[in-house]
Structure 1
Amino acid sequence: MTAVAADRIESAEQAYSIAAQLAAEFAVEAAERDRDRRLPHTEIDRLAASGLLAVTVPAEYGGADLPASAVAEVVRRLATADPNIAQIPHSHFVYLNLLRLAGSAEQRAHYFGQVLDGARIANAQSERGGATVAEIATTVRPEGTRFRVDGAKFYCTGSLFADLLAVLTRLDDPDQVSGLPAGEYIAYLPADTPGVRVVDDWQGIGQRTTGSGTVTFDGVLVDREQLIARSAAVHRPTAYGAYAQLLHAAIDAGIARGALTAATAFVRTTARPWFEAGVTRAVDDPLVIQRFGELSVAVTAAEATLAAAGLAVDAAIDATVPVAEASLAVAAAKVLADRAANEVSAALFEVGGTRSAAADLNLHHFWRNARTHTLHDPIRWKYQHLGRALLHDNPPPLHGVI
């Protein structure tokens, strides 16, 4: 896959404007793409060409160096239109952040330069078969003067659109031939590297066009310069986890807003009032009005806590507030965004009535997308971290998912 030529974005305001323009374009056929599972190759090319995927490249490498809060707002705007498209670059931004935190100067220059030229990064991280999702079976081991990667990854969001894959591996080097410390490494490698197989087998009920299929690695050879130790980003207070979780919350908040917008349009134009309301238009039914008020509060609260969490992550990265404070702010935002996305996307049918359930309208894609995306990490553990911080003064753990 060849990267497209990308424009350069210089400010958050420019990024927001471009995100809004693209969202308006992407919204037009979002329901049809979902219904037909038509992969958004053209749309992702547009996204890459816009320069939005390079907005976090540090200024010293020629990028806009936009903060986490700005990236979250870009992702939220995209998600209001098509949360599939918004999720595809999630790992792209996360692994650019890991590169910033843990990569060498040479690695940063190399990969940041590729991204400025339009390259797209996807994850190859999750696995099946272990006792928990935290267990990594995919290995990287010395082979001559190079390293060999073997294993299989699942839920590899964006892999069908990627130029580069960020592969989470476990170093298998018991004799310490490589001289590398034990632990987990991210291997950055071109998606067309020999031995890499990207399979379009994602069958989730939602987020159907994210390209979240399987990637296998069979004797894939990489150089030392392609490996980055993950511990420097994950096992220190770097806000790496808060950054990643913030973008997940942005997707959910965007789904909630998109569903509310669709529900509003449907009730205004198509829904019929319940006969007991004694009104001629659904929009005048006092119970419908009440419900929309409740849904509006849920979405507004999710957006407000997302914005506050974004500023907290910015401050943590700038070392003006503790990273634990940012992680807890993001945990609260994640809870409210999860709630809003699932509630509003389901309530769309409650306020729209039977007509809104017509299959050809595919209004259920909002609920399916919300239900699927919010499974990434359970909010019940966000409550745990928030409660433990309050009652026991325990900071959240350092594991990259908080």
Structure 2
Amino acid sequence: MSTAIAARIDSAEQALSVARDLAHHFATGAAARDRDRKLPYKEIDQLSASGLLAITVPARFGGADLPPSVVAEVVRILATADPNIAQIPHSHFVYLNLLRLAAEPPQQRELFEDVLGGSRIANAQSERTGKTVADIATSIRPHNGGLRLDGSKFYCTGSLYAHTLAVLTRLDDPEGKTGLPDGEYVAFIPADAAGIRIIDDWNGIGQRTTGSGTITFEGVSVRGDQLVTRSRAVGAPSGYGAFAQLLHVAIDAGIARGALSAAAEFARTKSRPWFEAGVDNAIDDPLLIQRFGELAVEVTAAEATLTAAGTVVDATVSTSARRAGQAAAAASIAVATAKVVADRAANEVSSALFEVSGTRSAGADLGLDHFWRNARTHTLHDPVRWKYQHIGRALLHHTAPPTHGVI
């Protein structure tokens, strides 16, 4: 399945330029879309048509094959304007990476060509019913000479806008009828396949238009050539998890920058000075200047740490097999560090926006609260308390972080 023909992007410079142009466009109405939960179908189609969603397609399949650091910067730029739009293609890029690492050439060719045409992939990964997020009940099993998929997923970000769903599932075949090895698989199936129901029931306080609701699968027919063995990417030192986490860091850093820019603009144009400051303009209050300087340091540090982590993740793509384990471990620690810094910056700056802008900024009609709500919601992904643990263990015990896909 594919959409209208998308533009082709050939270089990092072109990708970043296109991202900046789109961000400028997406910024208009971002607060209103978030407040009113107006789903950005038009904007996501524009994102697809721009060619940005195909920038990681390998060169041998006709793509630009741009490195993780460039993808992260594209996502960060988009997040400064609308964090919802920036998060929607997160799993799209992650599962393109899974295809690159783990799929067979015919699978790669089919799906990469679709993406080059503008097609979008969304995740169907997490479930509500397990004891932990790692427990997967959705299953594929033999049925009438083929395979049948059944289950229910939640937090399916981007599913409302997707052409293909990447469904995390486990094999239920105790008699060995399928001939497939035990384990987890990702099934790449059309979003409009019979037996699939995509439910728009996401009601989070932030990231409200990401389409992160429920999908149910009832007797969905699946072919063997639609399955990719997940362990080939996650169970190997491939940098798969570091790449996925790097994009989360980019979203948080983008929110922080967007909030800081909105606060500065408000202070320059709308804020009144505190009477004790003895100045005519709010931005001449020395205490306000001091606070903005502190916040600017927080944001700049988050962006610099993101850039540094991106460089380390890039190395996982080009490192030799002999050094793959060392490169993947270094990438995970670098990204974990960046996640801690960006998490802090996104939450602190989006909250301080009101502190430095004054009472007027709290008007509901302005929608400035969307930065904080988006930061608070998105940073719930993968708690930073466990990032500290892995960083500390690596430092004290020289213990490599696990390859479970979320560090």
TM-score, normalised relative to structure 1: 0.99
Q: What residue in structure 2 maps to residue 207 of structure 1?
A: 207
* Aligned: 1:93 with 2:101: no
User: Residues 1-400 of structure 1 correspond to what in structure 2 (within 5 A)?
Assistant: 3-319=3-319, 322-400=327-405
1:234 aligned partner, one-letter code: V
**Percent same amino acid among aligned pairs?**
70
Separation in 1, partners of 2:106, 2:77: 34
Could you list the runs of 5+ residues in structure 1 that have no partner in the other structure?
none
CA distances 1:135-181 after superposition (whole Å, capped 9, x unpaired): 00000112233211100000100000000000000110111111111
Separation in 1, partners of 2:306, 2:381: 17
2:78 aligned partner, one-letter code: L
Superposition RMSD in Å: 0.9
Separation in 2, partners of 1:114, 1:283: 50
> What is the deviation of 1:110?
0.7
* Aligned: 1:401 with 2:406: yes
Separation in 1, partners of 2:327, 2:102: 20
Separation in 2, partners of 1:308, 1:171: 39
2:169 aligned partner, one-letter code: T
Separation in 1, partners of 2:142, 2:275: 73
The answer on whether the counterparts of 2:2 and 2:114 sit within 8 Å (CA) in structure 1 is no
Could you list the runs of 5+ residues in structure 2 that have no partner in the other structure?
321-325
The answer on whether the counterparts of 2:77 and 2:254 sit within 8 Å (CA) in structure 1 is yes
CA distances 1:266-287 after superposition (whole Å, capped 9, x unpaired): 0000111111111111101111
The answer on whether the counterparts of 2:141 and 2:147 sit within 8 Å (CA) in structure 1 is yes
Q: Secondary structure at the match of 1:129?
A: coil
Instruction: Please say which of residues 84-93 and 136-145 is displaced more in the overlay.
Output: 136-145
Instruction: Please say which of residues 269-278 and 200-209 is displaced more in the overlay.
Output: 269-278
Q: Secondary structure at the match of 2:319?
A: coil
Separation in 1, partners of 2:235, 2:125: 17
The answer on whether the counterparts of 1:122 and 1:159 sit within 8 Å (CA) in structure 2 is yes
The answer on whether the counterparts of 1:122 and 1:158 sit within 8 Å (CA) in structure 2 is yes
1:204 aligned partner, one-letter code: G
Q: Which runs of 4+ in 1 moved over 2 A?
A: none
The answer on whether the counterparts of 1:206 and 1:368 sit within 8 Å (CA) in structure 2 is yes
Separation in 2, partners of 1:399, 1:336: 22
The answer on whether the counterparts of 1:4 and 1:45 sit within 8 Å (CA) in structure 2 is no
Separation in 2, partners of 1:338, 1:165: 28
Separation in 1, partners of 2:219, 2:45: 30
Separation in 2, partners of 1:322, 1:88: 28
Separation in 2, partners of 1:45, 1:27: 16
The answer on whether the counterparts of 1:4 and 1:48 sit within 8 Å (CA) in structure 2 is no
2:378 aligned partner, one-letter code: H
> What is the deviation of 1:4?
2.7
Q: What residue in structure 1 maps to residue 323 of structure 2?
A: none
The answer on whether the counterparts of 1:267 and 1:351 sit within 8 Å (CA) in structure 2 is yes
2:381 aligned partner, one-letter code: H
1:116 aligned partner, one-letter code: L
Q: Secondary structure at the match of 2:149?
A: strand
Q: Secondary structure at the match of 2:4?
A: coil
1:366 aligned partner, one-letter code: F
Alignment length (residue pairs):
402
> What is the deviation of 1:2?
5.6
2:93 aligned partner, one-letter code: F
Q: Secondary structure at the match of 2:154?
A: strand
The answer on whether the counterparts of 1:79 and 1:251 sit within 8 Å (CA) in structure 2 is yes
The answer on whether the counterparts of 1:346 and 1:367 sit within 8 Å (CA) in structure 2 is yes
Separation in 1, partners of 2:222, 2:394: 42
The answer on whether the counterparts of 2:2 and 2:115 sit within 8 Å (CA) in structure 1 is no
Relative to structure 1, the CA distance from residue 238 to residue 2 in structure 2 (aligned partners, 3 Å threshold; closer, same or farther) is closer
The answer on whether the counterparts of 2:2 and 2:117 sit within 8 Å (CA) in structure 1 is no
> What is the deviation of 1:35?
1.1
Separation in 2, partners of 1:4, 1:314: 31
